[in-house]
Structures are given as structure tokens and as C-alpha cells.
Structure 1
């Protein structure tokens, strides 16, 4: 339990600071509340359904970790903003940010076959990734354009999977567009077509490219600030050692 708290705190400081600087404090807090709430609802419904199907009461009393849903959502937000930025995974491997949510989900599923403890966080991670993608894809309001969601192909549902699976997943993913966006024609217009003979502001790939550039700049500025802080503290320590020698 203490290890989970430490991991959650570190992830909140690392990824939360970047997302908050781009979204703003209000939207960042709203994202955490929405993702945590909807993730909890999904887990509750799933547990009830499994209980009625299997008649095993263990599904009703299994302890579940709540904040892993928001942490998984942070990874999806990073994927959306800086998909091509390389991140260090477990301080060993460098991988592009767009693949981090998929890899974390895959690792969690694999671990669940070897330990029962993973049951407490696996559903939260999977539902957290799914719910956060739905929110960012269809409902998050962009203050600069007034539009909602991110209709870019780089953030589609199939972008979480390898290239060879996308022809199979894209027809299935189109059901999300119809279910969550009402008339499919409206969302088609948002995905880069025209509305009333003129392009819909912020609906083309340019907006997604600008958002990624802002994310990359924010990440670079943060890394530069941390480097300056570390360098400054090193200089202070060196000066202190020199003073002691004198």
C-alpha cells in the first residue's frame, strides 16, 4: 500500500505538472474527477455483472485501487499531447509516448496471470485508459477554439494498437463516433471537412500539431528548469566545500 502511494505521488508530480500547465488547473482537476468517477462506475457495474454470472461473492469484496484510473489517464493525455516524444520506461527503455498506455496495459494484463494482487489494480488501469480516451476524444473542451474533443487520426482508438490491427479496429471504432457524437455527419465535419462551405476552426490536423508543439515546448522548459535547479544546487555545494577548505 505504501509503495502504491509513493508511485501515485511520483506519477502525479511528473505527468500532472505537465498536463496542468497545458490544460489549466480547472480542467486538470475536472479531468481527475471525471476519470476517477467514471472508472469507479465501470468497475462497480463489472463487479455486479460478474457476480450475477458466476455467483462468486469474491467479486463484490475484492479491494480495488482508485487512483490508478487517473494515473492511466495521465498517460493517455501525454500520448495526445506529445505522441512522438521519447520517454524513459522504468528508467531503462526509451519509448515514444504514444505507446506508453498500451505497454502499461499489456504489462498489467501479463502480470495478472502470475499474481492475484494485480486484480486490485488491473481493472482500474484498463478502465482508466478507456474512460480517459473517451473524455479526451469526444468531450474535453478546447478553450482556444471552443470545440470539444480531438478528432485527429493520431488519437483514434486504433492508434493504441499495432498498425496491422487498425483495418480491423477502425470499423468498430466508428461505432463510438455514432454513439457518442450523435449524427455521424457532424463528427465527420469536425474531422477536417467543411461546415457551411468553410473549414471548421481547429478541426484540421494543424490544431493537433500545435497542441503537440505546445506540449513538447512545455516538456523542454520543465526539463531545462530542472537541469538549472540541479546545476545551481551543485554550484552551491561546490562553493560550500571550497569555503570549508579555506
Structure 2
């Protein structure tokens, strides 16, 4: 078992191809199957993707759009991202909470995209906002990055610390949007996916270890997604989130069990909870990597024994 002072271990290359959960494999089949269905029956796109002008009465688009990829690049990124990020988060959250997170982020992101598209149409009078087919799993994928930032902030993904991955992905997506017209079909979904995920994890996700909601730690605040020099400007804005979702009370995210007095958190209690959460995440990750290593060694030993028996 890893001590609290031990740095998180980088994922081994061999572990990238093993340890995928059954739920993630099932969802990957859904993504690949949805893409294949569109290739066979292209006319199904208006009934499955989110097209704001057709969402009423086709309201099921708010659900199906998140699982429909329109390009081979999109389905590849979504499938690989689901398998790799899912095997980090699902063991820590549990299958039920993991699936709940996906469904919630998917639906709320679609609703936000729909409302934004309608608003942009009335502001700009450009019909492309009404007839662009929005779809893809990238809203949930960006939400996964927010979840990993919360639980395993120092874990390296592609040699970048996980706590900076949501910010980096958002910046790259916004930057590329200035050079391509296709950005309108993916950028809102990606950004709303991050935003909805942060709100849920920050204020509403129930923590089984304490039966309380949310994550009030400073390391998961809204301003933590931005560089240090911007935080004095963003912190007053971030306080509006707390007033909106908690009503200025500690009921949702401020109370911390034994670390409260008259309903108010004691100094340092947020950091204590954040440290405990990260330690649990790091321990779970190390245990899973150790189990995969033992499994791989067992297979190698079995292969060597079979080879020796054949030679005899």
C-alpha cells in the first residue's frame, strides 16, 4: 500500500491495453455501433443527432446525441478515451456512480447546447445554429478529465499532470475554433461538458466515505482551472457559483462531518478532505496496476511452462 507521501506512479505502457471495465467495453460498443449505423443509414442522422430546429418534437435527441459520432476520427478518440479514462475513474467511483455521471453530463450538456444554439440564432439570425447536427461523446470525455483532475491531480497523462488537462484541452479547442468552421459542432459540447461535470462534482456528487455532497477543497475551485495570476480576478466570480448552488450555506459542500462547528467548516478541513480523496485515488490506482502486473506475470509464466512442456 502506498504511503501518503509517495508520488503517483506514471501509467505503464503495457497497462494501456489491459484492465478495461465491462461497462466501458459496453459503452464502446454503443459508440462504434452508432457510428456504423450512420454509415449504413445516413438518413438516421436527423433522428439521432441534436439538431436544434428538430429537437421539438424529437426530444430523445437530447439523450441519443451524446452517443453518436459522425466521423472516424471522432469515434476513435471517443472509444479510446472512454476505455483509458474509464478504467481510472470507474473503480474509484463505482459502476453505478460512473454510469450516473455519464448519463447526467450527457443530458445536461445537450440541454445547454440546445439553449445556446437557439439563443445564438435569435442574436445573430444565422440559421446554421438551428440546423447544425450536434453529437459526440467528447462532452463526457472532457468531464472525465475534470474527474481525474479532482481525484488524481498529479497523475501524468501524456506527460502532463492531470490537473492541467481540462484547461489545456479547452484552450486548444478554443484556439483551433478560430481556424475552422466545424468548431460550432464540437466546441459547445466540449466546454459545457467540462462545466456541467465541475458543477456536479463540486456541489452534488455524494461522497460515500462521508455521505456528504461535493468537494469544497480549494484545489478544485473554479479558479484552479486557470493560471495563478488570474485567480485573484476569478475568485470573486467563483463565489457566485457557491451562492447559486449552495445559497451561501454550508449544507451542500461546506459541512465536513467531524470537521465542522455550528455548521461552518474549520480552517484547513477542505484541504484534509482533498488529501484524503487523493490518497484513496492513488492507492486504488496503485492496487489496480499491481493486479494487472501480477496477471501479466502469471500469463508469461504459464506460456513459459507450456513452451517447456512442448520441448520435453
User: TM-score normalised by the shorter chain: which range applies?
Assistant: 0.7 to 0.9
* Aligned equivalent of 1:53, options 123, 132, 135: 123
Instruction: Give 3-state SS (helix, strand or coil) of 1:225's partner.
Output: helix
- Cα 1:85–1:120 shift into 2, 3 Å: same
**1:42-81 alignment, distance < 5 Å:** 42-81=112-151
**Contact 2:105–2:143 (CA<8 Å) still a contact in 1?**
yes
Could you tell me how far 1:188 is from its partner in structure 2? Answer: 8.3
- Cα 1:189–1:115 shift into 2, 3 Å: closer
Q: String of CA shifts for 1:17-72, please: whole Å, max 9, x gaps.
A: 22111111111111111111110011001000000011111001112223211111
Instruction: Specify every segment of 5 or more residues in structure 1 that has no aligned partner in the other structure, as ranges.
Output: 89-93
Could you tell me how far 1:145 is from its partner in structure 2? Answer: 1.0
Which residue in the other structure is 2:238 paired with?
173
- Cα 1:28–1:188 shift into 2, 3 Å: closer
Of 7-16 and 178-187, more deviation after overlay is shown by: 178-187
- Cα 1:218–1:186 shift into 2, 3 Å: closer
Distance, in Å, in 2 between the alignment partners of 1:189 and 1:245 is: 67
Which residue in the other structure is 1:35 paired with?
105
Distance, in Å, in 1 between the alignment partners of 2:180 and 2:264 is: 56
Distance, in Å, in 2 between the alignment partners of 1:209 and 1:225 is: 24
**Contact 1:151–1:203 (CA<8 Å) still a contact in 2?**
no
Could you tell me how far 1:194 is from its partner in structure 2? Answer: 3.2
Q: String of CA shifts for 1:3-24, please: whole Å, max 9, x gaps.
A: 2112212111111122111111
Q: TM-score, normalised by structure 1?
A: 0.86
* Aligned equivalent of 2:207, options 142, 145, 152: 142
Q: String of CA shifts for 1:195-216, please: whole Å, max 9, x gaps.
A: 328868x953222211111111
Could you tell me how far 1:123 is from its partner in structure 2? Answer: 1.0
**1:2-151 alignment, distance < 5 Å:** 2-88=72-158, 94-151=159-216
* Aligned equivalent of 1:219, options 269, 272, 285: 285
Instruction: Specify every segment of 5 or more residues in structure 2 that has no aligned partner in the other structure, as ranges.
Output: 1-70
Could you tell me how far 1:104 is from its partner in structure 2? Answer: 0.6
Distance, in Å, in 1 between the alignment partners of 2:301 and 2:126 is: 62
Distance, in Å, in 2 between the alignment partners of 1:23 and 1:127 is: 22
How many residues align? The count is 240
Could you tell me how far 1:118 is from its partner in structure 2? Answer: 3.0
Distance, in Å, in 2 between the alignment partners of 1:207 and 1:185 is: 15
**1:147-158 alignment, distance < 5 Å:** 147-158=212-223
Distance, in Å, in 2 between the alignment partners of 1:187 and 1:139 is: 7
1:183 maps to 2:248: yes
CA RMSD of aligned residues (A): 2.6
